[in-house]
């Protein structure tokens, strides 16, 4: 089995190759090492190899892990955020990738107001309309955008999606394109900037980079297989 440092090196090379292929600058793309289910020791190994940006998908796990690690590590939240965990989550994460409903956004805004915080968020879109997934439906998002923009405590910086599971990475491309086109449409319709696109995981991050990812969320290719599912 290869080490976390070797894995990271390989993933970085693949990100750079994909960027070069489509003429993008590699520094437009941030690699987030998704450390859910993996212990602090493995995170430290990645940190030792120069990785400072990490992602977690469960608040409880993050609350235990983050304090064990150097304070200059940066953390993004990528999972489904339960409303009763918002208050604990706000101080831990610099970006929330997965605001998946208007109700969650409103509750985050209310709690952020009480706590005097200004969370940065992405809106998670269920592009394929899968019944099993969280996220805004494409049409619903258009309809709810005014209300989302009225939440002055939240800074909405872009969109995120998780495409349907598929054996072939290529299958993700059309969903990434749909997310980017939705983003472009929202930017012109609402006269706003949504510069961040959080797309791409272990299986399809190279495709995501080709299609405009600014954040790729890679777990397995860096840390190895997980012993339990990380997202629920």
Q: How many CB atoms lie within 10 A of CB 158?
A: 22
Mark the segment that binds ligand PLP (CB under 6 A) among 38-46, 107-115, 164-172, 219-227.
219-227
Query: For residues 86 and 218, which CB has a smaller minimum distance to ligand PLP in the complex?
Result: 218
Q: Is 78 in the site for ligand PLP (CB under 6 A)?
A: yes
Q: Work out the burial of residue 40: count CB atoms within 10 Å of its CB; fewer than 13 is exposed, 13-18 middle, 19 or more buried.
A: middle
Q: Is 218 in the site for ligand PLP (CB under 6 A)?
A: yes
> For tokens 């968020």, what's the residue?
121
* Distance, CA of 8 to CA of 14 (rounded, Å): 10
Q: Does 43 bind ligand PLP (CB under 6 A)?
A: no
Using the contact rule CB under 6 A, the part of the chain among 9-17, 44-52, 67-75, 218-226 near ligand PLP is 218-226
Distance CA 101, CA 148 (A): 10
Cα–Cα separations (whole angstroms), residue 219 to 37, 153, 200, 222, 224:
10, 30, 11, 6, 7
Give the range of 14-22, 130-138, 150-158, 211-219 binding ligand PLP by CB under 6 A.
211-219
Question: Rounded CA gap, 51 and 61, in Å?
Answer: 20
Contact by Cβ (8 Å): 127, 163 = yes
Minimum CB separation of residue 203 from ligand PLP in Å reads 6
Cα distance between residue 190 and residue 33, in whole Å: 32
Question: Exactly one of 8, 33, 79, 206 binds ligand PLP (CB under 6 A); which one?
Answer: 79
Pairing of strands 120-124, 95-99: parallel
| Residue 65 binds ligand PLP (CB under 6 A) | no
Other Cβ atoms closer than 10 A to 127: 26
Residue 57 as a binder of ligand PLP (CB under 6 A): the answer is yes
Residue 30 is a binding residue for ligand PLP (CB under 6 A): no
Among 201, 207, 209, 215, binds ligand PLP (CB under 6 A): 201
Inter-residue contact 69 to 49 (CB < 8 Å): no
81 or 86, CB closer to ligand PLP? Answer: 81
Please report whether residue 158 would count as binding ligand PLP according to CB under 6 A. no
CB under 6 A: which stretch of 88-96, 107-115, 142-150, 212-220 binds ligand PLP?
A: 212-220
Site of interaction with ligand PLP (CB under 6 A): 34, 36, 57, 78-79, 162, 201-202, 217-221, 230-231
């Amino acid at each position: 089995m290869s080490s976390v440092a070797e894995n990271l090196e390989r993933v970085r090379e693949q990100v750079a190759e994909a960027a070069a292929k489509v003429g993008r600058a590699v520094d437009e793309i941030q690699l987030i090492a998704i450390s859910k289910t993996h212990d602090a020791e493995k995170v430290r190994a990645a940190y030792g190899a120069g990785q400072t940006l990490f992602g977690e998908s469960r608040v409880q796990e993050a609350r235990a892990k983050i304090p064990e690690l150097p304070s200059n590590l940066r953390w993004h939240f990528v999972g489904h955020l339960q409303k009763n965990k918002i208050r604990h989550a706000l101080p831990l994460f610099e970006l929330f990738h997965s605001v998946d409903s208007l109700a969650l956004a409103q509750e985050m805004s209310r709690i952020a107001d009480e706590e005097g915080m200004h969370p940065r968020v992405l809106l998670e879109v269920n592009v394929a309309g899968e019944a099993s997934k969280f996220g805004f439906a494409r049409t619903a998002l258009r309809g709810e955008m005014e209300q989302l923009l009225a939440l002055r405590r939240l800074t909405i910086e872009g969109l995120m999606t998780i495409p349907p599971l598929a054996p072939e990475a290529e299958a993700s491309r059309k969903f990434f394109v749909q997310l980017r086109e939705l983003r472009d449409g929202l930017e012109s319709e609402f006269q706003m900037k949504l510069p961040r696109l959080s797309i791409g995981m272990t299986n399809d991050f190279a495709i995501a980079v080709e299609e405009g990812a600014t954040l790729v969320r890679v777990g397995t290719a860096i840390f190895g297989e997980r012993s339990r599912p990380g997202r629920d």
